[in-house]
Amino acid sequence: MGILVVGSIALDSVKTPFGEAREALGGSALFFSAAASFFSPVSLIGVVGRDFPRAEIEFLEKRGVDLSGLEVVPGQTFRWCGSYEYDMNEARTHRTCLNVFQDFKPKLSEAHARSEFVFLANIDPVLQQDVIAKVREPKAIGCDTMNFWINGKREELLKTLSLVDIMFINDAEARMLAGVPNLIKAARAIRKLGPKILVVKKGEHGSLLFTDHSVFAVPAYPLEDVYDPTGAGDSFAGGFMGYVAAMGRWDEATLRRAMIYGSVMASFNVEKFSMERLKTLTKAEIETRFKEFRRLTHVDEFTV
Amino acid sequence: MGILVVGSIALDSVKTPFGEAREALGGSALFFSAAASFFSPVSLIGVVGRDFPRAEIEFLEKRGVDLSGLEVVPGQTFRWCGSYEYDMNEARTHRTCLNVFQDFKPKLSEAHARSEFVFLANIDPVLQQDVIAKVREPKAIGCDTMNFWINGKREELLKTLSLVDIMFINDAEARMLAGVPNLIKAARAIRKLGPKILVVKKGEHGSLLFTDHSVFAVPAYPLEDVYDPTGAGDSFAGGFMGYVAAMGRWDEATLRRAMIYGSVMASFNVEKFSMERLKTLTKAEIETRFKEFRRLTHVDEFTV
């Protein structure tokens, strides 16, 4: 089954200890679409300015991403400038120019409104609710958010959370949202706000899945060089939701495998700047790394 | 097979957000012995002053810990006063009084010198080397260390590392020792210094095992309340080395199970102050939690 994603499309200028990229493809919707397209048909809803280098996302169309929901309007595309220090866990934002993204109002076609799986990337929770209201009979709605909305639009964010099934959040933001320092307690508090399924991303420390039944942990892939962490969270969500949509169900076993596919996509994404690694990635490489992730935690059955 | 441990025995005064303990049992050798005794016969080498409340460690003798190497000398027992903030990842030391520990010289009996498994807890690397020189034909020697020795006795520490098989270290100290921010690179560099097996402890983020063959990851147990992290690293090493000594071998499969037993013992240790939880712990509880750890990373084989 297909998946609808609503989010940002940006031109990123990023500096890390390993180099820099200027005006490179970025934004939550692009990273998500690139990752999810390996698993499911993806429809993207977003907006760019007339300056957007449309040819650079032809690789998404070749992977079957439906770009009919990509609006092109007069003005400049959303731009983000940021950098990372050696620990790579937190981005330092130098400049954000929302440009055409400031007036973004998601428009869904008839076909988009019939989507069974939906991902609301990190955008204003008011827009997230607007999309939820327009989708007819979704099987599962996932969402992401960030400190900006947790602090600035808390009430609206809480309303969004009451309407979604799966939430993706990083560990610092989970603690901030719940207001408790212990991550396990924070996860329990957030799940009470609505999302039955909670995915907490911990960067170089892996990720955790919280459901009614259990906690599931995936370590991070042991990478020696993280070139650019931008988009890791969106690639994770893309792998996860793409796999869930492909399976058409979200039982415990499917969710656990989705966690690994999410981790796989994030681990590839950070190996190069912008979307360079996702562009050249193959399904075979994904399956090989999936097996490597399984081996990272594999324990032989005990025999004397 | 039995295991010999050389380390500190202390009276700890600890304050955490959950309460405090005064003059409670502590020190690397005690935590290690209590944890390892569930798996193997343990012999402890250490020193206390005449003020040491000997009756409080009778529970160790009941578990078969050989205390013939526990010296009692005139003077006061080693004391440590510290506290933890909410994040619980780093202890703040308020006061350290080495007392009789200052002049500690490990004395090994004939039987001790024949030990096949040895653990050198976090003490002066010169003393660690002294013990190594006295042990006849060890099958495996493990060691721990800390920032104090990494900065203050680097050359001596490097000599110790060239003589040991298994090293336990926390993530911040691994980066410090290797001088590189990436943990995977740091692990590779440390293994080149001597220890074929490296265990990196990451507190609430679990632990990593590095061998010639692979990386293995164990998540932390999802605890809602960590009452007192003191001794978690030593309990981890105790569970790990105790299991390795019990098996009498350290192949990849044994080491992976040892990582889980180490994690199990550390997770119990932090549930109460000082050694209170390790005192009442049972083998059945250990096995139950071992299975819970397995479930934390379990993924069903794929079926459509």
Angle at which helices B125-134 and B154-161 pack, to 10 degrees? Answer: 30
The type of residue at B52 is: F
Which residues in chain B are contacts of A16 at CB distance < 8 A? none
The mean pLDDT of B90-118, rounded to a whole number, is 94
| Amino acid A85: pLDDT | 83
Per-residue pLDDT tens for B263-292? 999 999 999 999 999 999 999 999 999 999
In the predicted model, what is the mean pLDDT of residues B87-115?
92
Distance CA B143, CA B241 (A): 10
Q: What letter would DSSP give residue A36?
A: H
Q: What angle do CA B161, B36, B12 make, to 5 degrees?
A: 85
Using CA atoms, how far apart are residues A265 and B146, in angstroms rounded to an integer? 36
Cross-strand pairs, A12: A24, A80
pLDDT at B302: 66
Q: Measured between CA atoms, how close is B97 to chain A, in angstroms?
A: 32
Residue A241 has pLDDT above 90, yes or no: yes
Supply the pLDDT for residue A86.
Answer: 75
Q: Is B121 exposed, middle or buried (0-12, 13-18, 19+ CB in 10 A)?
A: buried
Identify which of A285, A170, A266, A286 has the alpha carbon closest to the alpha carbon of residue A226: A266
ipTM score of complex:
0.90
Residue B8, Ramachandran bin (φ over 0: left; ψ between -120 and 50: alpha; else beta): beta
Residues 6+ apart with CB under 8 A from A162: A193, A194
| Chain A residues touching residue B183 (CB < 8 angstroms) | 204
Q: Calculate the average pLDDT of chain B.
A: 95
Q: How far apart are the first and last CA of chain A?
A: 46
Q: Which helix (H) or strand (E) holds A188?
A: helix A183-192
Summarised one tens digit per residue, pLDDT across range A57-106 is 999 999 999 999 999 999 999 999 999 987 777 788 999 999 999 999 99
Q: At B197, give phi and psi (nearest 5°).
A: -115, 125
Q: Would you call B183 an interface residue with chain A, using a CB distance cutoff of 8 Å? A: yes
pLDDT at B128: 98
Write the CA distances from B174 to B147, B168, B178, integer angstroms: 9, 9, 6
In this complex, the residue of A183, A257, A296 whose CB is nearest that of residue B216 is: A296
**Around Cβ A288, how many Cβ atoms within 10 Å?**
11
- Neighbouring C-beta atoms of residue A134, cutoff 10 Å: 17
pLDDT at A30 over 70: yes
Please list, in sequence order, all residues whose beta carbon lies within 8 angstroms of the beta carbon of residue A131, skipping any fewer than 6 positions away: A6, A45, A106, A108, A118, A120
**CA–CA distance, A266 with A192 (Å, rounded to integer):** 27
What string of DSSP letters covers A69-83?
Answer: EEEEESSPPEEEEEE
Q: What percent of chain A has pLDDT over 90?
A: 92
The closest alpha carbon to B38, from B230, B239, B236, B221, belongs to B239
CB contact under 8 A, B183 and A205: no
Is the model's pLDDT at A32 over the cut of 90?
yes
- B277-296 residues touching A, CB cutoff 8 A: 294-296
DSSP, residue by residue, B247-272? HT---HHHHHHHHHHHHHHHHHHTTS
Helix (H, G, I), strand (E, B) or coil at B100: helix
> For the segment A184-201, what is each residue's pLDDT rounded down to a tens digit?
999 999 999 999 999 999
Give the whole-angstrom CA distance, residue B239 versus residue B220. 15
Q: Would an 8 Å CB–CB cutoff place B90 in contact with chain A? A: no
Q: Which amino acid is at B298?
A: H
Query: According to the model, what pLDDT value does residue A132 have?
Result: 98
Closest-CA residue of chain A to B172: A87
In contact, B281 and B38? CB cutoff 8 Å? yes
Residue A126 predicted with pLDDT over 80: yes
* Model confidence at B94: pLDDT above 70: yes
Rounded to an integer, what distance in angstroms lies between the CA atom of residue B6 and that of residue A301? 33
Contact A297 B297 (CB under 8 A): yes
DSSP assigned state of A288: H
d(CA A234, CA A33): 9
Confidence of residue B97 (pLDDT cuts 50, 70, 90): very high
pLDDT on residue A303: 55
CB A79 within 8 A of CB A10: yes
Whether residue A174 lies within 8 A of chain B, CB to CB, comes out as no
Q: What is the mean pLDDT of residues A254-282?
A: 97
Q: Provide mean pLDDT across the span B39-66.
A: 97
Inter-chain contact B87–A256, Cβ cutoff 8 Å? no
| Partner B contacted by A215 (CB < 8 A) | yes
Residue A40 has pLDDT above 90, yes or no: yes
Please give the helix or strand (H or E) that residue B14 lies within, else none: strand B10-16
How far apart, in whole angstroms, are the C-alpha atoms of residue A104 and residue B243? 59
The count of other CB atoms within 10 Å of the CB of residue B297 is 22
Do the Cβ atoms of B135 and B6 come closer than 8 Å? no
Q: Can you give the pLDDT at residue A196?
A: 97
* Mutate which: A88, A200, A205, vs B, most B CBs within 10 A: A205
| Amino acid B138: pLDDT | 96
Q: What gap in Å lies between CA A256 and CA A269, rounded to an integer?
A: 20
- Half-sphere exposure (Cβ direction) of A283: Cα atoms closer than 13 Å: 7
Residues of B in contact with A184 (CB under 8 A): 222-224
Is the Cβ–Cβ distance between B70 and B48 less than 8 Å? Answer: yes
For an interface test with B, give the residue of A264, A271, A297, A301 to mutate (most B CBs within 10 A). A297
For chain B, first and last CA: distance in Å? 46
| pLDDT score of B1 | 78
Quickly tell me which residue has 């560990």 as its tokens: A171
Place of tokens 């008839």: A110
**Sign of the alpha-carbon dihedral angle for B6, B10, B14, B20:** positive
Closest to B144 (Cα-Cα) out of B12, B3, B67, B238: B238
Alpha carbon distance A146, A237 (integer Å): 14
| C-beta separation of A38 from A283 below 8 A | yes
According to the model, what pLDDT value does residue A265 have?
98
Q: What is the mean pLDDT of residues B129-136?
A: 97
As a whole number of angstroms, the distance between CA A12 and CA A30 comes to 12
Look at residue A45 and tell me whether its pLDDT is greater than 90.
yes
pLDDT in tens, B53-87: 999 999 999 999 999 999 999 999 999 999 998 77
